[in-house]
């Protein structure tokens, strides 16, 4: 049992890891953490180089870091093939026949790939890509369900030096087009479909729709996941190829060639404060080092662990904590295709019991949905194999934390609340499970080598419990290198507030013990079910509809999703509004972006609250949806009646 103490200052419980856990953990005491942290901050190059040396390099670097803000180069002159650390090395370190991926499909079938089998599959697919003419630095889009083939596709790209860009399978054809155009992809890897909540998601069909608009794709490689009438597929001759047919024609042997440490590994699109998603670029050596080291220390991965991260490979969590970090650690992991509530809310716990999962990593939004579904689901399963729990994606509310700790962790498992971002590549702030005292709601302390701080507008560090902007003051290996094709936006977004310092875009405060409490985004980015979504993206989807003249989108607290989406819409003159129209607009946003972006509520209004100079006053709308009234200064508001009318509507 971990024991809890009452924290006199906040009234919150403080949880400390149990002795048995600490004894076997990599970091066993706070004294050890503090000593290592201090050293890592004084000499980051030495700390990170020690971690990097545990990976496979074909040529050693000459310098750990070259930093000319805001551009970092890590392990300068080093050469590696990322795939060798994730796969090949395990063929000769005793793990060849160890399960790398234990996969379960939503309908219930299961499949295990050992490291040796994974190697064979990756090599085969690398040869397929080469046969299609894909070369180093070419961009390859991956749009797949949660199957081992998604991981194989990523690793095969890395193996030949191609740059993958994975798109979450829940995104629409329109979203695919935007991303294809931005990165100018040459090939797409997809599946006939994937199962989600008992239904087939028609992935290949979405790709076909996208390719009506984007013409530069030379090959589409289709994995047959469904293989039945449920997912009818049209193959275009000369462009579309079945994965299994190609596999029969190529060798399963492939020698991994080394690439520069700064070779681009992938581009992953994420939302920012404009309507255009940002292509976050990560590079090989540094990213791998960051994900490897954080898995090792924060998830404390040991050789007999069974690890399961429930994220989708379409998000950064899936990249760092399904594909790269865990495989570089040689762990056994569970991968699941479908929804947490299919056929019911017991599915995750069935999987934990069936595969004896010991480390489990999920999102607060999922935990809240489980709480709502009822305790009988976890209570009727044997969860005693679990030893460590993690969360990511948003601040975890203390109620969800406590439920997770008691109902899932049996009060014995430490919880690591991990703060990080697509941009940071790896976890930045988190407890270390064997030593850090935790309080529900705080991500606690920075990881080794991470110089996190909270600054005020003038660049001064704020005092205890004062709010400010969360920043990172020193470069770290897994940091983004740029926004693909847009250096200016890279500098403006992250490096403009304070010279040479990375601004995360989150607000935070630190308590007297130095724990970081993240308070949420400071920009116009929503966090819906742990997924980032720009209000501007939803707004531009809405105004793309023929009846809409103008719209403003804001977030509101939501019981399960964390944040819900509220849209205020002004229609063009002469058009009648109705509930049917609101429904149509929701569907329209789903069509343009994807189901996660559908507004929860739509309010029609003859005008939006604006300043005299015509700027939409989102602050007022936010306040209005959160509290039902507007209290702050509204003297700059052009037309006060707009607010009182909206207030009336919301009351109804």
Which chain residues interact with ligand WTA by CB under 6 A?
270, 315-317, 392-395, 417-422, 443, 504-506, 518, 520-521, 527, 532
> Using an 8 Å Cβ cutoff, are 282 and 480 in contact?
yes
Task: Identify which of residues 270 and 493 has a Cβ nearer to ligand WTA in the complex.
Answer: 270
Please give the Cα distance from 72 to 286 (Å, whole number).
Answer: 10
Dist CA 297 CA 300 (whole Å): 5
Would you say 355 and 102 are in contact if contact means Cβ atoms under 8 Å apart?
A: yes
Locate 575 and state its tokens. 């058009």
Between the alpha carbon of residue 168 and those of residues 176, 457, 461, the distances in Å are 9, 36, 37
Residue 365 or 422 with smaller CB distance to ligand WTA: 422
CA 545 to CA 567: how far, in whole Å?
A: 14
Minimum CB separation of residue 527 from ligand WTA in Å reads 6
Toward ligand WTA, which CB reaches closer, 241 or 315?
315
CA dist 84 and 159 (Å) reads 8
Cβ nearer to ligand WTA, comparing 145 with 505: 505
- In the bound state with ligand WTA, the residue whose beta carbon lies nearer, of 99 and 316, is 316
Nearer CB in complex with ligand WTA: 300/506: 506
Nearer to ligand WTA, 395 or 449 (CB): 395
Name, in order, each residue with C-beta under 8 angstroms of 244's C-beta and a sequence gap of 6 or more. 223, 224
Q: Per-residue DSSP letters for 441-499?
A: T--BSBPTT--EEEE-TTSPBP-TT--EEEEE-S--TTS--EETT-HHHHHHHHSSSST
C-alpha dihedral (433, 436, 437, 438), degrees to nearest 10: -60
Task: Judge whether 553 and 538 are in contact, CB under 8 Å.
Answer: yes
Q: CB of 546 within 8 A of CB of 640?
A: no
Using the minimum distance from each CB to ligand WTA, give the nearer residue, 338 or 364.
364
- Whole-number minimum distance, CB 361 to ligand WTA, in Å? 11
Minimum CB–partner distance for residue 389 and ligand WTA (Å): 13
Q: Smallest distance, Å, CB 619 to ligand WTA?
A: 19
Q: How far is the CB of 339 from ligand WTA (least distance, A)?
A: 19
Q: What minimum distance in Å lies between the beta carbon of 383 and ligand WTA?
A: 22
Q: Which is nearer to ligand WTA, 494 or 603 (CB)?
A: 494
Q: How far is the CB of 543 from ligand WTA (least distance, A)?
A: 25
CB-nearer residue toward ligand WTA: 77 or 170:
170
**DSSP assignment string, 412-426:** TS-EEEEB--TTT-S
Nearest distance from C-beta of residue 320 to ligand WTA, angstroms: 8
Question: CB-wise, 315 or 355, nearer to ligand WTA?
Answer: 315
Residue position matching structure tokens 């609250």: 609
Bridge partners, residue 335, by sequence: 103
**Least distance between ligand WTA and beta carbon 643 (Å):** 29
3-class SS of residue 11: coil
Output the DSSP codes for 497-528: SSTT-EEEEEEEEE-TT--EEEEEESSSEEEE
Strands 264-270 and 278-283, sheet pairing: antiparallel
Nearest to 54 by CA among 261, 289, 287, 263: 289
Q: Which residues pair with 594 in a beta bridge?
A: 171
Nearer to ligand WTA, 240 or 506 (CB): 506
Helix, strand, coil shares of the chain, percent, nearest 5, are 30, 25, 40
Up-side HSE of residue 182: CA atoms within 13 Å toward CB? 23
- Report the nearest approach of ligand WTA to the CB of residue 189 (Å): 22
Nearest alpha-carbon partner for 178 in 68, 89, 275: 275
Using the minimum distance from each CB to ligand WTA, give the nearer residue, 163 or 443: 443
What DSSP designation does 194 have?
E
Residue 528 CB, nearest distance to ligand WTA (Å)?
Answer: 11
Judged by beta carbon, residue 214 or residue 269, the one nearer ligand WTA is 269
Token readout for 440 is 């529900």
Question: 95 and 77 in contact (C-beta within 8 Å)?
Answer: no
Cβ of residue 487: shortest distance to ligand WTA, in angstroms?
20
CB of 86 to ligand WTA, least distance (A): 20
Residue facing ligand WTA at closest CB distance: 422
Structure tokens belonging to residue 241: 């190829």
Minimum separation from the CB atom of position 513 to ligand WTA (A)? 17
């Amino acid at each position: 049992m971990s024991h809890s103490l009452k924290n006199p200052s906040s009234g919150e419980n403080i949880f400390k890891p149990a002795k048995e856990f600490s004894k076997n953990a990599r970091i066993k005491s706070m004294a050890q953490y503090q000593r290592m942290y201090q050293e890592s901050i004084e000499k980051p190059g030495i700390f990170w180089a020690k971690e990097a040396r545990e990976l496979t390099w074909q040529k050693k670097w000459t310098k750990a870091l070259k930093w000319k803000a805001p551009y970092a180069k890590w392990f300068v002159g080093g050469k590696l093939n990322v795939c060798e650390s994730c796969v090949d090395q395990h063929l000769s370190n005793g793990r060849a026949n160890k399960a790398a991926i234990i996969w379960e499909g939503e309908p219930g079938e299961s499949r295990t790939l050992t490291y040796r089998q994974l190697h064979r599959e990756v090599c085969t697919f690398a040869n397929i890509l080469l046969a299609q003419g894909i070369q180093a630095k070419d961009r390859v889009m991956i749009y797949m369900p949660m199957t081992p083939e998604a991981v194989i596709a990523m690793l095969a790209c890395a193996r030949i030096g191609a740059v993958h860009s994975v798109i979450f399978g829940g995104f629409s054809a329109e979203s695919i087009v935007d991303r294809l155009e931005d990165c100018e992809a040459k090939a797409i890897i997809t599946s006939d479909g994937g199962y989600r909540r008992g239904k087939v998601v028609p992935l290949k069909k979405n790709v076909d729709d996208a390719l009506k608009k984007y013409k530069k794709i030379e090959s589409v490689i289709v994995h047959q996941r469904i293989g039945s009438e449920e997912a009818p597929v049209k193959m275009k001759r000369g462009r579309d190829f079945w994965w299994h047919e190609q596999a029969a024609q190529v060798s399963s042997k492939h020698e991994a060639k080394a690439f520069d440490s700064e070779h681009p590994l992938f581009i992953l699109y994420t939302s920012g404060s404009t309507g255009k998603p940002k292509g976050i670029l990560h590079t090989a050596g540094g990213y791998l080092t960051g994900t490897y080291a954080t898995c090792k220390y924060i998830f404390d991965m040991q050789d007999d662990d069974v690890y399961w991260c429930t994220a989708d490979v379409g998000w950064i969590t899936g990249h760092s904590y399904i594909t790269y970090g865990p495989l570089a650690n040689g762990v056994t992991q569970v991968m699941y295709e479908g929804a947490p509530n299919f056929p019911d809310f017991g599915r995750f716990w069935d999987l934990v019991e069936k595969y004896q999962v010991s480390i489990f990593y999920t999102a607060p939004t999922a935990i809240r949905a489980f709480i709502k579904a009822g305790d009988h689901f976890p209570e009727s399963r044997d969860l005693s194999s679990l030893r460590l729990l993690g969360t990511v994606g948003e601040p975890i509310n203390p109620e969800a934390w406590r439920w997770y700790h008691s109902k899932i962790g049996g009060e014995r498992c430490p919880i690591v609340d991990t703060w990080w971002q697509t941009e940071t590549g790896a976890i930045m702030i988190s407890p270390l499970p064997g030593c850090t005292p935790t309080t529900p709601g705080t991500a606690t302390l920075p990881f080794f080598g991470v110089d996190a701080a909270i600054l005020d507008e003038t660049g001064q560090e704020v005092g205890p419990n004062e709010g400010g902007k969360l920043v990172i003051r020193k470069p770290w290996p897994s940091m983004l290198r740029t926004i693909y094709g847009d250096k200016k936006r890279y500098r403006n977004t992250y490096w403009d507030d304070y010279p040479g310092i990375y601004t995360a875009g989150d607000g935070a405060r630190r308590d007297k013990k130095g724990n970081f409490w993240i308070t949420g985004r400071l920009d116009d980015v929503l966090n819906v079910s742990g997924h980032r979504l720009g209000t501007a993206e939803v707004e531009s989807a809405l105004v793309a509809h023929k009846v809409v003249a103008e719209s403003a989108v804001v977030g509101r607290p939501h019981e399960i999703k964390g944040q819900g989406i509220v849209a205020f819409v002004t229609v063009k003159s002469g058009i009648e509004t109705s509930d049917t129209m609101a429904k149509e607009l929701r569907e329209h946003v789903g069509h343009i972006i994807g189901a996660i972006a559908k507004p929860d509520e739509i309010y029609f209004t003859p005008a939006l609250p604006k300043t005299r100079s015509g700027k939409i006053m989102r602050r007022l709308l936010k306040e209005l949806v959160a509290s039902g009234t507007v209290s702050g200064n509204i003297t700059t508001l052009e037309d006060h009646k707009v607010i009182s009318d909206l207030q009336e509507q919301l009351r109804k």
